[in-house]
Structure 1
Amino acid sequence: MTRVLLVDDDLELSAMLKEYLAQEGFEATTVADGEAGVAEALSGNYAIAVLDVMMPRLNGVDALRRIRQESRMPVLMLTARGDDVDRIVGLELGADDYVPKPCSPRELVARLRAILRRTATPEPTTDADEFTVGPLRLWPARREAQWAGEALTLTSTEFTLLEVLVAAAGHVVSKNTLSEKALGRPLARFDRSIDVHVSSLRHKLAPRDDGRSWIQTVRGQGYQFVRE
């Protein structure tokens, strides 16, 4: 069974989600505060962690920051509905996706499975063995990337997003296509997840010689990884 770590101080919700996850073939462990959540997450015993933003002792955003200092394990954030600030900060720090609360157990499971499909079974989005564009080298089957000969540290979502963009280098890829391939779901109205992940990628890739980013925004259409 796939082991899931639930970090949330809402004990009633955690118990309900744990029961539902068990019915769906997951083994869930619940923790009620961020400090204990970080310790559990870094134990190496879980395939994925679910972090609530609002928690005692250490909030979800700070817990995620600590986890990302040592681990690339997939993390799904639970955020208050309509709270864009926590959502964006979580994605910028390396969360793979988020679910607004209150959420249905069914939606949570769907998001978990979408993330785990990209990590537990790292099948490449394309058939290419390797991509080389400018200073970037990408190995889809190995889920590894280098920039100017140095290893790139990417979350699962960032890697898949970069892979899709590089496979179509020189051509525009719509945000909806990126959302479906990188997040496993259609792009929702007002959803800025793809924009935040692209922003994170831009910070990890040095700019071109002319100062521009390798990932260009094509207004009203999507994003394009430019060729040299």
Structure 2
Amino acid sequence: MKIKILIVDDEPLLIKGMRYGLSEEYDIDEDEAVRKAKSKEYDIIILDLMLPKKDGFEVCKEVRTFSQVPIIMLTAKGEDMTKIMGLEFGADDYMTKPFNLLELKARINAILRRTKKVEENSVASEFEIGEFKINTLGRKITRNGEDINLTGKEFDLFLFLATNKNKVFSREALLEKIWGYDYYGDLRTVDVHVRRLREKIEDNSSNPKYILTKWGAGYYFKYN
């Protein structure tokens, strides 16, 4: 069964190139992201930031209200702040235009491998760590019975740190472990995801008690 991808972009030549480069391996839809994401199951969404009606931030935010499908956001060269904002709005990854189709395929495959690996290799489909209950098949987390709405990468990051409790991982190591390939992007990608995760799981994100920073070394999940 082919992987289903939704491409959201208003550049015909770029869409044509992606269809040509990906169509033999993936089924591809185009445009109307929110409506299509609600009506069909996709494995991944490729979302351009600059769209004629709604920008990619708004589309990403809307999709995140009902779906945790992985999203790769496309940004213009040099727009560092927009990359960070894309992650803040719930994107899992970003690529800068122009990009190499082989790299895009590598990132798509890495995200999908990571998702499959989490589902296949977990010790149990459902288990508890302190106040948290983790369902690896449904990729859901609850804390004291309340659902926590995480993106795909936030879930992967939480699961990795929580199942390696009290072990410190550098940002470089987390990029390799969570993103699953030799990542050439900004190390702030990890910082953004950690900050968003803290905002969702901690009582006080500015004074966290679960995901902690070991200055000069990295991040770890504290559990006694």
Give the equivalent residue in structure 2 for 1:22.
23
Could you tell which deviates more after superposition, 211-220 or 54-63?
211-220
Question: How far off is 1:128 after superposition?
Answer: 5.3
| Distance in 2, Cα, partners of 1:83 & 1:225 | 32
- 8 Å Cα contact 1:4-1:49 kept in structure 2: yes
- 8 Å Cα contact 1:118-1:156 kept in structure 2: no
Match of 1:193 among 189, 202, 215: 189
- 8 Å Cα contact 2:114-2:179 kept in structure 1: no
| Distance in 1, Cα, partners of 2:116 & 2:16 | 25
Match of 1:42 among 33, 38, 41: 38
TM-score by length of 1: 0.87
Helix, strand or coil at the partner of 2:193: helix
CA RMSD between the two structures: 2.2
Question: How far off is 1:77 after superposition?
Answer: 0.5
Give the equivalent residue in structure 1 for 2:142.
146
Match of 1:75 among 48, 54, 71: 71
Q: For structure 2, which runs of at least 5 residues remain unmatched after alignment?
A: none
- Matching of residues 143-222 of structure 1 within 5 Å: 143-188=139-184, 190-207=186-203, 211-222=207-218
| Distance in 2, Cα, partners of 1:79 & 1:189 | 12
- 8 Å Cα contact 2:7-2:45 kept in structure 1: yes
Helix, strand or coil at the partner of 1:123: helix
Evaluate the alpha carbon distance shift between residue 44 and residue 204 of structure 1 in structure 2; reply closer, same or farther with a 3 A threshold.
same
| Distance in 2, Cα, partners of 1:60 & 1:180 | 26
Q: For structure 1, which runs of at least 5 residues remain unmatched after alignment?
A: none
Q: In the comparison of the two structures, how many residue pairs are matched?
A: 222
TM-score by length of 2: 0.89
Give the equivalent residue in structure 1 for 2:4.
3
Evaluate the alpha carbon distance shift between residue 196 and residue 218 of structure 1 in structure 2; reply closer, same or farther with a 3 A threshold.
same
- 8 Å Cα contact 1:79-1:100 kept in structure 2: yes
